[in-house]
Structure 1
Amino acid sequence: MRKRLVLAMAGVLLAGSLTGVGRPAFADHCDPSVQGAECEDVGPALEDFVDIRQVPPGDTGVRAGRGSFTSRCGRNENGHRNSDNHIVTPGVSNGAHHVHDYVGNLTTNGFSTDESLAAGGTTCRFGDRSAYFWPVLRARGAGTGAGTDEPGGASEGNVGRILLARSVTLQFRGNPVSRVVAMPRFLRMITGDAKAATNGGANARAQWTCTGFTDRLTSRYPLCPRGGPVLRVLDFPSCWDGRNTDSATHRTHVVFPGANGACPAGTRAIPQLRMTLAYSVPSGPSFAVDSFPEQRHNPITDHADFENVMPDRLMSTVVSCVNRGLRC
């Protein structure tokens, strides 16, 4: 438990030293301008932010081959959001306890099934009815809005104005050492760990950076020079066991390749999904990703989910583009 007033003052100082001006990094559960006001600190902490210029270059995420296919699905202009997760907590409302942005399938919610998704509409081109989703990013602190007391919202500690991504890139990439095979229809995958702040980093895959600095990635919130866009880079596993479309942990049927890009024995390479989400954020340490309440909005908890509902013909096109080294 820390005083919000102290955090607010520190946030302004940090923002000023790194990016000019900014708001403090805290949830607006009380008015820090009131002398002596104390509130529960739900994060994020100032140490969760870093000037991107202090991150050394070198890390660019999962290695990939030359070929790629980009599914164009918009950036959730229609405001499709809920706090569900049909992959991890099926048949439950507010199973995520934080709000997700969706693109692709228009019907995705906690009660979605393979059959309902196959019958749903989509925001994607070429009949890609896949479900793509991730926790929203919010502007936080004084003057950014307190959010709404809806499932996954203020009552869960997720407050502030939801930021609509300025761009969403959904790219399926090749493997650097082998050809890929088609993903099976209804393959379900997750990347990252929504509870990494308490579980530890074994399954964490958070990757943050700024436009113009994509040769470096960090697991902290980046403070970008001159208010440049913040990027979230979410790489999915791409080595499939050849049999299952899901598993008990949602992790063992599709795993990540090794450091050289090769898939482990007993698995085969499939197109590797990379989501790149770009945001215009307020200056300074004044934004955060939605999270479970106990995760304190730690940037390491960033994660995303995907279910493949592409028509078989479209998936064949993806595989052909990737294996031929084309950019489609």
Structure 2
Amino acid sequence: MGRNTRKRRSPLATKVVAGAAALAVGGGGLVWANFYASAHESDSSHHRTRSAGAQVATIQCPDVGQKLRNVPRGARPGVDKELARLDEQITEAYARLASTRQAQSGDSAYVQNAILGPLKSKRTAALDRIGINIRRGGGDAPGGLDRFAECRGMGADQPGNGDGNGGQDQDNGQGQDGGQDGGGQDDGQNQGDNGNGAAGPFADDFVDINDVQPNSRDLENGLAANGDGGSTGSFTAVCGVNENNLFNSDNLIVAPGVDNGAHHTHDYVGNQNNNAFSSDDDLAGADTSCQNQGDKSTYYWPVLRLQDGTQEFDANDLGGGAEGNVGKILKATEAEIKFVGNQQSDVVAMPKFLRIITGDAKAFTNGVANANSSFSCTGFEDRQVTDKYVLCPEGSQVVRTSNFQSCWDGQNIDSANHRDHVAFVQQDGSCANGFQAIPQLQVRLVYDVPAPTVENGQVQNPYAVDGFPEQLHKPITDHNDFINVMDENLMNEVVDCINGGEDCQ
């Protein structure tokens, strides 16, 4: 379909993950069918052994990147590479989890001994290297980093309220409960694997838009910043829908200098030189798909796919099919990129190269504290849902919406965890803690998606966002990324339009 820029592979990871994917396609669906069945079978002696070890749907690990606050700038490249290594270790462990269901069914300690135990050892070594990098950079490494080494098995239920536990009431993979009750998988005995080893999405991940109550979205994240007072104008950036087919599975913000740092494929609009190795100078000197050539910002998000068996260009690549991101990439029919104002005050200019991430690609295992993006349907956009994909009626299209943080600390273009330098507005629309109001980026993506069918607890030809393999393609993991590369004149024009109550583009 397009090009996957700077796609490289780690031989070990390719072997492990591709092997799991091959098993999934070649028969793993049957193993996963037993997994779902065992979660609800009666506690008879005939089923007890099989049930004990086969109820862990995925792996939950502490998100170390979110725990770090004070990382010296000189230490960040080394720390970022170790954080990316932690992600790769989870990916490889998840691949082993998905490819060893038969072994798990006969050994209740298999997951702990063969998967989680070795993973803890690898994570301990990586965490130790993070501490070394911080100390070499002149900083003080947090004490007790090794407490973040241990990972747990978890079921396919939705996570809790942002405590980061993400289903940690499981028992380190011993399979006492598996978290399947209430997970919408009661009728999953014949669950197909959609070509990705039963890594989701599942029937319970979808909701009919008619069953969503208007104005019921209860997460505070992503509140629209503008209103009747303050700065009421807007600026629309017209940058296309990725007509240039620029894709890769890098993440310049979170994992600079690391191949496949996202473990899923991104759509890019705006800047045309965005990959893991792009410097700020590279971004500033790049071409842009935006009509206003002064806007070389990069706007990117995980692709949306239809799991229909299509073999895309990345079907055998890391970030793509080798990590469970399978099917036809759906290009948005509309990509509305708009900057708006603040309810309480004027906005100030964003600094060049400011980086903002909204949403959380790991929200399924992290918890919902940073979840943000929502799904809706055209004609129903007063109904937004964050933890479900939507089923739209005939003639209506799927809408993905992301409203970014719009308060800035006035000093930093990034922070160690890529979040602390920006914040969402408070309930009254103001910025807290001395932060300054900046133009709020709002991204609205519209897709013409063939409606999946959901019958008897099964979903056929579902759509889903790309994600880290262990996140099971949950809708709550949708996210959006932005690096500001507007020239000074254009940024001043954006600010003037917004503060002057005008609508510009």
What's the TM-score bracket when you normalise by the shorter of the two chains? 0.7 to 0.9
2:71 counterpart residue number: none
Q: Among residues 146, 154, 157, which one is paired with 2:324 in the alignment?
A: 157
Report the structure number with the largest CA radius of gyration. 2
Q: CA deviation at 1:148?
A: 1.2
Alpha carbons 2:225, 2:406 under 8 Å: kept: no
Question: Partner amino acid for 1:308?
Answer: N
Please report how far the alpha carbon of residue 3 of structure 1 lies from its aligned counterpart in structure 2 after TM superposition: 2.2
Task: Give yes or no for contact 1:132–1:306 (8 Å, CA) kept in 2.
Answer: yes
For the 8 Å contact 1:227–1:281, the answer to whether it is kept is: no
Question: Deviation of residue 59 (structure 1)?
Answer: 5.0
- Could you tell me which residue of structure 2 aligns to residue 64 of structure 1? 225
Deviation at 1:144, TM superposition (A): 4.1
CA gap 1:234/1:25 in 2 versus in 1, 3 angstroms: farther
Deviation at 1:262, TM superposition (A): 1.1
CA shift for structure 1 position 64: 2.9
Point out which structure has higher relative CO (alpha carbons under 8 A, 6+ apart).
1
Which residue of 101, 120, 129 maps to 2:267?
101
Q: Secondary structure at the match of 2:346?
A: coil
SS at structure 1 position matched to 2:240 = coil
Superposition map of 1:128-207 within 5 A? 128-141=295-308, 143-145=309-311, 148-207=315-374
Partner of 2:471: 295
* Other-structure match for 1:253: 421
Question: In the TM superposition, what is the alpha-carbon distance from 1:235 to its structure 2 partner?
Answer: 1.1
- Once the two structures are TM-superposed, the CA of residue 168 in structure 1 deviates from its matched residue by 0.4
Match of 1:309 among 461, 485, 488: 485
Equivalent-residue separation in structure 2 for 1:48 and 1:120 (angstroms): 39
CA RMSD of aligned residues (A): 2.0
Deviation at 1:170, TM superposition (A): 0.5
> What do residues 208-256 of structure 1 show as CA deviations (whole Å, max 9, x unaligned)?
1111111121011011111521010011101000000000011000111
Q: Distance in 2 between matches of 1:263 and 1:26?
A: 45
SS in 1 for 2:325: coil
Amino acid at match of 1:188: R
In 2, the alpha carbon distance for the partners of 1:111 and 1:27 equals: 33
The 8 Å contact of residues 26 and 44 in structure 1, kept in 2 or not, is answered as no
Equivalent positions of 1:105-120 (< 5 A) are 105-120=271-286
Q: Is the 8 A contact 1:204 1:301 kept in 2?
A: yes
What is the CA-CA distance between 1:206 and the residue it aligns to? 2.3
Instruction: Evaluate the alpha carbon distance shift between residue 50 and residue 249 of structure 1 in structure 2; reply closer, same or farther with a 3 A threshold.
Output: same
CA distance in 2, matches of 1:186, 1:118: 9
- What is the identity, as a one-letter code, of the residue corresponding to 1:232? R
The amino acid that maps onto 1:321 is: C
Give SS of 2:464's match.
strand
Distance in 1, Cα, partners of 2:490 & 2:192: 43
Q: Indicate the SS of the match to 1:177.
A: coil
TM-score (norm. length: structure 2): 0.57
In 2, the alpha carbon distance for the partners of 1:114 and 1:25 equals 45
- Paired residue total: 301
3-state SS, counterpart of residue 109 of structure 1 = coil
> Does structure 1 residue 50 correspond to structure 2 residue 207?
yes
User: Do the aligned partners of 2:263 and 2:318 also contact (CA within 8 Å) in 1?
Assistant: yes
Deviation at 1:301, TM superposition (A): 0.2
Which residue pairs with 1:80 in the alignment? 246
Q: Which residue of 2 aligns with 1:36?
A: none
Matched residue, 2:396: 228
**Corresponding residue SS for 1:148:** coil
**Structure that is richer in strand per residue:** 1
How far the C-alpha of 1:160 sits from its partner, in A, is 0.3
Identity %: 53
Quote the Cα distance in structure 2 between the aligned partners of 1:308 and 1:84: 18
In structure 1, distance between residues paired with 2:434 and 2:275: 33
Structure 1: stretches of 5+ with no match in the other structure:
8-23, 30-39
Residue 323 of structure 1 aligns with an amino acid whose one-letter code is N
CA shift for structure 1 position 265: 2.5
CA positional deviation for 1:69: 0.3
Counterpart code for 1:279:
Y
1:26 deviates by 4.5
Match of 1:2 in 2: 32
More deviation, 177-186/226-235: 226-235
CA distance in structure 1 between the partners assigned to 2:318 and 2:310 by the alignment:
19
Provide the rounded CA distance (Å) in 2 between the counterparts of 1:221 and 1:63.
Answer: 21
- Provide the secondary structure at the position in 1 that maps to 2:369: coil
C-alpha distance in 1 between matches for 2:422 and 2:464: 29
Q: TM-score, normalised by structure 1?
A: 0.88
Cα–Cα, structure 1 residues 270 and 25, in superposed 2: closer, same or farther, change >3 Å? farther
Could you say what secondary structure the match of 2:287 adopts?
Answer: coil
Tell me if the contact between 2:238 and 2:292 (Cα under 8 Å) persists in the aligned partners. Answer: no
Partners of 1:89 and 1:110 within 8 A in 2:
yes
**Structure number with higher helix proportion:** 2
Task: Render the CA deviation track for 1:292-314: whole Å, top value 9, x for unaligned.
Answer: 00000000000011000001100
Residue 279 (1) aligns with residue 455 (2): no
Instruction: Report the secondary structure of 1:47's partner residue.
Output: helix
